Amino acid sequence: MRFLLEGIRPELQQYFIERNYDGRPFDRDTRSAIYQRAKSTKEEAPFGTERDVYEVGYEYLVHSTAPVETMSEAPRVRIGTQACTKPYDMALMNVSAMSFGALSGNAIEALNKGAAMGGFAHDTGEGGLSKYHRQGGDLVWEIGSGYFGCRTDDGGFDADKFAEVASGDQVRMTSLKLSQGAKPGIGGVLPGKKVTKEIAEARDVPQGEKCVSPAYHKAFHTPRELVHFLAHMRNLSGGKPVGFKLCLGSRSDFLSICKAMVEEGTTPDFIIVDGAEGGTGAAPQEYEDHIGVPLTEGLMTVDNALRGVGLRDTIKVGASGKVTNGVDIVKRIIQGADYTNSARSMMMAVGCIQAQTCHTNTCPVGVATQDPRRARALDVPSKAERVHRYQQQVVEQAMQVVASMGLSSFTELRPHMLRRNVSHGTIKSYAEIYRPLQPGELLATPPADWERDWELADADRFTP
C-alpha cells in the first residue's frame, strides 16, 4: 500500500510514514525534510517552527542584516599532507560508514551510484569492499579491527591484500576505524547463518562461519605504533590520503595520539570524529545510551587538541553524527570540522522509514536486510537519484545559510556565530562556551584546564 500511495502522490506516502512511525529517532520535521529533498517535492512548511526556542540547549546561527550573494558553486576540502602524493578534494557532505551486510546490496549500490552522480564520497564501512560498492562513486575504504577484505587466515592485517584493493582507482582514501559512535570500545559478531557467499567474499572470511570483529586492533598497541601503521597504510595505497575514525573517550587518550604524531613527525591526512549519538542495530543498549562523547564535545576537543600541538592546519577533520540539513553542516564547521559525513539521513534517502527492525533481517523497505525478496523493494536507479538530489540540496542550503550570515566562504565561519541557550535566560556563543587554544599552546605552556590531561598523555600507551 505504501508503494501504491507513493506512485499516486508522494505526500500520501509521507502521511502513511508519519502516522505509523511517529516518535522515532528523527522527529517528524527532520524526516519530512529529508524525504522531500530526496524526492524534490515541496520543502517550505507553513505556520512557522515547532521548535521550543526557549528550551535549554536550543542553538541558533547569527544572521547578518546585510546578506551577500550565495556562492556560485559548492567548495571542496583538499585532503592530503605533504606525505600524501594523491590528495583528494572532499565534498562538504558525504555518505558515512555503513557496511555491506548491515545494508542490502541494493542499498549500497544506490548509495554509490548517487555518490557518483553528485561527485561526493562514499565510506564503505568496515564490512569490506563489495561488488555493490563498485558503481563509479568515490570510495573511502574503511578498515576495522577485523581487517575485512585485507585479513590473514588468523585475522591479522594482510599488507599485500590491502595494497591490491587500495590501489584501485575508485578507492580515493583509506580510513582506519578505532571506534564508532554507537558502540565505542566493543567489537561485533556476525552469526554464521548470516555470512552469505557475497558477504564472505567482501569480508574475506569463510562462508557460513561466525565472523568476529574484535574490540581492539592486532596491528598496533600504542599511539606511536598507530601513527606508524597509518603511514604504512598510506604507502601501501600508493600515497593516497589515510586517516582514522573514532568516538572520543578521554581527552588524555586523544592527546596521547597527538604526542605520538608530534614526536614521530608523521600524521594522518584526516581524522573523522564520530558522535556517541550514532546509531546501529548491532549495539547493546548500554553502549548506545551511556558510553562515548557526543559529537559536539568530541569534535571541539579534537579540533582544539590539534590546534594546541600545531597540527590543525595539516590534518583535516570530518564530523559524523546526525547531519541532516544545511544548518547541521554550518554548525559542525563552526565547531571544528572541515567536512561532514551522514549515515542515517542517507539511509532515509534510499527509503528507510525508521521501522527499527534493522537487526531482524525483516526491513520492510529493503534497506537493512539480506533477504533478496525484501531487498528487491529498493529500486536502485530511482533511489540513487534521490541520494544525489538530497546531498545536492542540503549542500546548497548550507551555502545559502552562510550567505545569510553575510559570509562569502565557509572558512569565514567563527565560534561566536553560533549561540546556545545554556540555561533559562542565559545565552552564550561557542566562543564563550569553549575557549580555543592557540597554535602550539600545549607544546609551550599548557593552560590550567588542559594541564593534567596533557601530563597524563603518553605516546607509548593509550591513556584511560
Of 19-23, 56-60, 163-167, 252-256, which gets the smallest average pLDDT?
Answer: 19-23
Q: Is the pLDDT of residue 367 over 60?
A: yes
Residue 97, classed as helix, strand or coil, is: coil
* Residue boundaries of the structural domains of the chain: 2-50, 77-413+430-456
d(CA 117, CA 47): 35
Place of cell 557475497: 198
Q: What is the grid cell recorded at 276?
A: 556517541
- pTM over cut 0.85: yes
With a cut of 70, say whether residue 21 has pLDDT above it. Answer: no
Most distant CA atoms of the chain, gap in Å: 66
DSSP code of residue 70 = P
Distance CA 354, CA 23 (A): 10
Output the 3-class SS for 110-145.
HHHHHHHHHCCEEECCCCCCCHHHCCCCEEEEEECC
Span 5-9, mean pLDDT? 60
The Cα 155–Cα 150 span in angstroms is 9
Say if residues 387 and 350 touch (Cβ distance below 8 Å).
yes
Nearest to 14 by CA among 353, 324, 322: 353
In eight-state DSSP terms, residue 150 is: S
pLDDT recorded at residue 149: 94
Region class of 47: left (phi > 0), else alpha (psi between -120 and 50), else beta: left
Environment class of 34 (CB within 10 Å of its CB; exposed 0-12, middle 13-18, buried 19+):
buried
Helix-strand-coil split of the chain, %, nearest 5: 40, 15, 45
CATH architecture of 77-413+430-456: Alpha-Beta Barrel (3.20)
Q: What is the CA radius of gyration of the chain?
A: 22
Q: What are phi and psi of 143, to 5 degrees?
A: -115, 120
Total number of residues shown for the chain: 464
Asked whether the CA dihedral 420, 426, 432, 434 is positive or negative, the reply is negative
**What is the pLDDT at residue 355?**
79
**Which residues have CB under 8 Å from 449's CB, separation 6+?**
435
- One-letter amino acid for residue 282 of the chain: A
CA 404 to chain centre: 26
Mean of the pLDDT values across residues 294-322?
96
Burial class (CB in 10 A: 0-12, 13-18, 19+), 286: exposed
Strands in 277-386 per DSSP E: 316-320, 339-342
Centroid of chain to Cα 154? 29
Tens-digit pLDDT profile for residues 409-447: 999 999 999 999 999 889 999 999 999 999 999 999 999
Q: How confident is the model over 135-183, as pLDDT tens digits?
A: 999 999 999 999 999 999 999 999 999 999 999 999 999 999 999 887 8
Task: Give the pairing type, strands 270-274 and 77-79.
Answer: unpaired
Average pLDDT, the chain: 90
Selection from 164, 147, 165 nearest residue 156 by Cα:
147
Condensed to tens digits (0 to 9), the pLDDT of residues 443-453 reads 999 999 999 99
pLDDT digits (tens, 9 = 90+) for 206-251: 999 888 889 999 999 999 999 999 999 999 999 999 999 999 999 9
DSSP classification of residue 207:
T
pLDDT at 16: 53
**Using 50, 70 and 90 to split pLDDT, how confident is the model at 22?**
very low
